[in-house]
Amino acid sequence: MTFAVTRRAASFMFLCALTVSAKTSMQAQQAGAPREKAAGKQPTPEEELQRALNEAGSDRAALVRNFESFLVKYPDYPNRTRIYRALVEASLQLQDDSRAADYAERMVALNPNDMSILLLAIELLERHENEGAFRRAVSYSTRVLDLVEKTNASERSPRVSAEQWELGKKGDLASTHFLRGDLYLKLRDYASAKKDLQTSYDLFPSAGAAQRLGETAELQKDLNTAIQEYARAFALAEGKSGNISRQEIRKKIGNVWRLAHGSDDGLGEYLLRTYDDVAQPALRPKFPRNAGVHELFDFTLRKAPDGAAAYAMKAAKGKVVVVNFWTTWCGPCHALEPIFARVAAEFEGRPTALFLSANCDEDETLVGPYLQNDKFSTEVVFADGLDRLFSVNSFPTVIVIDREGKIAFRSNGFQPDTFEKDLSAAVRRAVDQAAASN
């Protein structure tokens, strides 16, 4: 689905198409006509169309006059959709939006299932800024929605995967619901606007849908909902380079927050919390792995980078377990890894010590490329809830768990000068205690 066109290029192409069409029809008729020229013979519609084009030249106002005169004479001309389209483009160049919308709607009447024509009519009707135009635009957007819903995967190009096609259709549905919701908002039909905008957001969370939901709530004096939706829009916006201005949303949420709370106190914390909740929801598993598991040795992890192989922690029971919690985006984690590897090498011959590197990235697709560049000498697994069990909320974090499952050492971050010595000593103490208790 395409919502934008380059009008100057489109106009040129449409007029060229008309010229070629008229000339082709004339040549075909001339080829089959008698060589003698009958006196007083009436010109054909194609000849008159060509004359209308020639006489107008580059004057778009003249083109509009000539084409409209042609349509008065030939109201049922078979190729009038092309003439309507050329009139739309010429009218836009003359800044006559009303005439452009009129011919766009005539195109819809002739081509009720042409999505590009429906979208063009909607765009032009929105410029009218009157209720009647908005209501007709709503009707056309409903028709677009129906066409999108009826598209079938059997129609997809063989170059497009089924997954890509489904994602594209989902995006088109979200865009169309947003389009209609925006029109309902202009009509002050807040209930219908909210329904469409919420559907758009649910299908494809976007800053635009969240912002409109915030505006709808604000207009209804629902300040708490407005704050929530503006915060989501702020989290999803892409700074100054995106379609939605984060700076503009900041002003909106600041105003509503002050109305609700009297000052800006607490707004920053609220925005950060919302960002964590909604910025990357697709990256988080719907059901946390090892949910409800509260003992280390009851966990089943997955081996990185693809997660295909299971890693059951029950096999580590009775051992000293040393876990390095890390992420691909953490610079200190990168610096710590070779130090962690050296300590692990010290205990390579001690079967009672197990060293694991537990990745905590939300986007697990980042891990494979990272591990190709940085070869870990320790076993690499996905944390799969271990970070939750040990309340890890900063990186790197290194924890030593003794054979009883109790924390014997913990470092949030590290001091490069002393970390290797401190970790080595902590592991050695735990290993020696385990050996002494046997």
Q: What is the CATH number of the domain that holds 399?
A: 3.40.30.10
Backbone phi, psi, residue 399, to 5°: -130, 135
- Alpha carbon distances (Å) from 81 to 7, 86, 114: 17, 9, 12
Regarding whether 300 and 227 lie in a shared domain, the answer is no
Structural domain count of the chain: 2
Query: How is the beta sheet containing 353-359 ordered, strand by strand?
Result: 310-312, 300-303, 379-382, 353-359, 320-326, 397-401, 407-412
Regarding whether 362 and 301 lie in a shared domain, the answer is yes
How high is the pLDDT of residue 6?
35
How high is the pLDDT of residue 286?
52
C-alpha 199/C-alpha 286 separation (Å) is: 19
Choose among 322, 315, 366, 371: nearest CA to 344: 322
Through-space distance between the first and last CA atoms of the chain, rounded to whole angstroms: 70
Instruction: For residue 24, tell me if it sits in a domain.
Output: no
C-alpha 138/C-alpha 140 separation (Å) is: 5
Regarding whether 343 and 239 lie in a shared domain, the answer is no
User: pLDDT digit of tens for each residue in the chain (438 aa)?
Assistant: 434 333 333 443 444 445 444 444 444 444 444 444 445 678 899 999 999 999 998 899 999 999 999 999 999 999 999 999 999 999 999 999 999 999 999 999 999 999 999 999 999 999 888 899 999 999 999 999 999 999 888 887 777 777 788 888 999 999 999 999 999 999 999 999 999 999 999 998 999 999 999 999 999 999 999 999 999 999 988 754 446 788 899 999 999 999 999 999 999 999 998 988 886 654 555 568 898 889 999 999 999 998 889 999 999 999 999 999 999 999 999 999 999 999 999 999 888 999 999 999 988 888 999 999 888 999 999 999 999 999 999 999 999 999 988 999 999 999 999 999 999 999 999 999 878 776
Instruction: For residue 422, tell me if it sits in a domain.
Output: yes
Maximum distance among all Cα pairs of the chain, rounded to whole angstroms:
122
Instruction: For residue 2, tell me if it sits in a domain.
Output: no
Torsion sign, CA atoms 201, 204, 205, 208: negative
Regarding whether 260 and 375 lie in a shared domain, the answer is no
| Domain span holding position 239 | 219-280
Instruction: For residue 211, tell me if it sits in a domain.
Output: no
Backbone phi, psi, residue 357, to 5°: -110, 110
Is the preceding peptide bond at 305 cis, omega within 30 degrees of 0? yes
Torsion sign, CA atoms 174, 175, 178, 179: negative
Instruction: For residue 413, tell me if it sits in a domain.
Output: yes
User: 132 in helix, strand or coil?
Assistant: helix
Choose among 384, 184, 167: nearest CA to 282: 167
Q: 């914390």: which residue's tokens?
A: 269
Regarding whether 256 and 335 lie in a shared domain, the answer is no
DSSP 8-class letter at 114: -
Q: Is the pTM of this model over 0.75?
A: no
Choose among 342, 374, 376, 370: nearest CA to 356: 376
Instruction: For residue 344, tell me if it sits in a domain.
Output: yes
How high is the pLDDT of residue 5?
35
Instruction: For residue 187, tell me if it sits in a domain.
Output: no
How high is the pLDDT of residue 13?
41
Instruction: For residue 104, tell me if it sits in a domain.
Output: no
